[in-house]
């Protein structure tokens, strides 16, 4: 039997896993809950990854096979301490002969550009931009987590939507259709009920409010539209910063790829980001091809194995 590898894309909302052979041919797959890393919670992320890996192996009747390489790209692994903690937790579970852990942006960048230059912007539950310049220099912008950063992300939008609702309730802001829409989404009866809901909300819970903001914006609500515009500005700022840092100027020719649930093809926020890039980063050349981070993780596993994907 040829070598089996596993690629993992661990986000805040879901975990996607592919099982592939040494040619990169997909053999099986599975989806599980979010496995994004939080400081001190590496075991929780590892539990999700291991359980979902077993489901993926079962999907292709390979539960008896130990993968040669497990390549994991997970949100929250941008810092060495968290990345090392997850690596140790996975190794201790004997999930594969070899384990490699990267930040989620790294596997997505691999799928988008391979070894070439470009900037990848990811916006889902969290947000981050990662780029590689013409000289091979790499750099990151954003991705500081739900408390300190993740501007323009689903969790960021959700948190600000809650603030808009409470401000409108106080009459500090004009009335907005976001009030009723957010109460319905959170399944609470009144604005007071949002306090308890928000206190217990995870980043993924907050991110679940982002589609509500988008649908409310579609009805013409001014405040919802303003919030989406703010989110697009924040995200484009990530790209512009890396364009200047890696390519010398935002007017230089810069390949750009967009990924994550909020920037999927046809998504309202993607349209705003693409439109704003035209003026804020004139040299941006936005890819139309879908970025599949889990596919990049498989490529990373094969590269570690010394096999071209």
Q: Is the pLDDT of residue 283 over 80?
A: yes
Q: Is the pLDDT of residue 177 over 90?
A: yes
Whether residue 31 contacts residue 14, with contact meaning beta carbons closer than 8 Å, is answered with: yes
Instruction: Name the architecture of domain 4-110+292-305.
Output: 2-Layer Sandwich (3.30)
| Cα–Cα distance measured from residue 217 to residue 243, given in angstroms and rounded to the nearest whole number | 30
Region of poorest pLDDT, from 42-46, 53-57, 100-104, 210-214: 100-104
Q: Is the pLDDT of residue 234 over 70?
A: yes
In order, the DSSP letters of the chain are ---EEEEEEE-SSEEEEEEEETT--EEEEEEEE-----TT-HHHHHHHHHHHHHHHHHHTT-TTPPPSEEEEEETT--SHHHHHHHHHHHHTTT-SSEEEEEEHHHHHHHHHHTTS-EEEEEESSSEEEEEE-TTS-EEEEE--HHHH--TTSHHHHHHHHHHHHHHHHHTSS---THHHHHHHHHT-SSHHHHHHHHHH--HHHHHTTHHHHHHHHHTT-HHHHHHHHHHHHHHHHHHHHHHHHHHSSTTS-EEEEEESGGGSTT-HHHHHHHHHHHHHSTTEEE--SPP-HHHHHHHHHHHHHT---
Q: Where does the pLDDT of residue 147 fall: very low under 50, low under 70, confident under 90, or very high at 90 and above?
A: confident
Domain extents for the chain? 4-110+292-305
Burial readout 137-150 (b: 16 or more C-beta within 10 A, e: otherwise): eeebbbbbbbeebb
pLDDT, one tens digit per residue, over 245-262 is 999 988 889 999 998 889
Among residues of the chain, what percentage have pLDDT more than 90? 68
pLDDT, one tens digit per residue, over 92-136 is 998 999 999 998 888 888 899 988 999 999 899 889 899 999 998
Which of 38-42, 61-65, 214-218, 258-262 is the most confident on average? Answer: 214-218
Q: Is the pLDDT of residue 308 over 70?
A: no
Q: What is the pLDDT of residue 129?
A: 92
Average pLDDT over residues 17-25: 91
Average pLDDT over residues 11-26: 90
Cα distance from N-terminal residue to C-terminal residue, the chain:
18
Q: What is the pLDDT of residue 260?
A: 86
Q: What is the pLDDT of residue 1?
A: 53
């Amino acid at each position: 039997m040829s070598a089996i590898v596993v690629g993992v894309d661990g986000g805040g909302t879901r975990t996607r896993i592919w099982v592939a052979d040494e040619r990169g041919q997909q053999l099986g797959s599975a989806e599980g809950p979010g496995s994004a890393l939080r400081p001190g919670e590496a075991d929780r992320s590892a539990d999700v990854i291991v359980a979902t890996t077993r489901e993926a192996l079962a999907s292709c009747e390979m539960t008896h096979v130990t993968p040669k390489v497990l390549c994991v790209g997970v949100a929250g692994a941008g810092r060495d301490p968290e990345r090392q903690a997850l690596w140790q937790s996975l190794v201790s579970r004997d999930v594969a002969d070899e384990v490699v852990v990267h930040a989620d942006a790294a596997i997505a960048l691999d799928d988008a550009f391979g070894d070439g230059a470009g900037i990848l912007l990811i916006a889902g539950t969290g947000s981050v931009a990662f780029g590689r310049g013409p000289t091979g220099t790499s750099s990151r912008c954003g991705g500081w987590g739900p408390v300190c950063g993740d501007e323009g992300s689903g969790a960021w939008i959700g948190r600000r939507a809650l603030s808009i609702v409470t401000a409108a309730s106080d009459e500090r802001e004009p009335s907005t259709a976001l009030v009723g829409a957010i109460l319905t989404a959170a399944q609470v009866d009144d604005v007071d009920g949002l306090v308890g809901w928000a206190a217990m909300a995870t980043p993924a819970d907050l991110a679940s409010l982002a589609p509500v903001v988008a649908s409310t914006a579609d009805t013409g609500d001014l405040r919802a539209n303003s919030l989406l515009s703010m989110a697009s500005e924040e995200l484009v700022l990530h790209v512009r910063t890396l364009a200047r840092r890696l390519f010398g100027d935002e007017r230089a020719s810069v390949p750009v790829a967009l990924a994550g649930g909020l920037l999927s093809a046809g998504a309202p926020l993607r349209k705003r980001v693409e439109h704003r890039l035209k003026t804020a980063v004139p040299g941006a050349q936005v890819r139309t091809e879908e970025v599949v981070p889990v596919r990049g993780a498989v490529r990373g596993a094969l590269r570690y194995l010394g096999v071209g994907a």
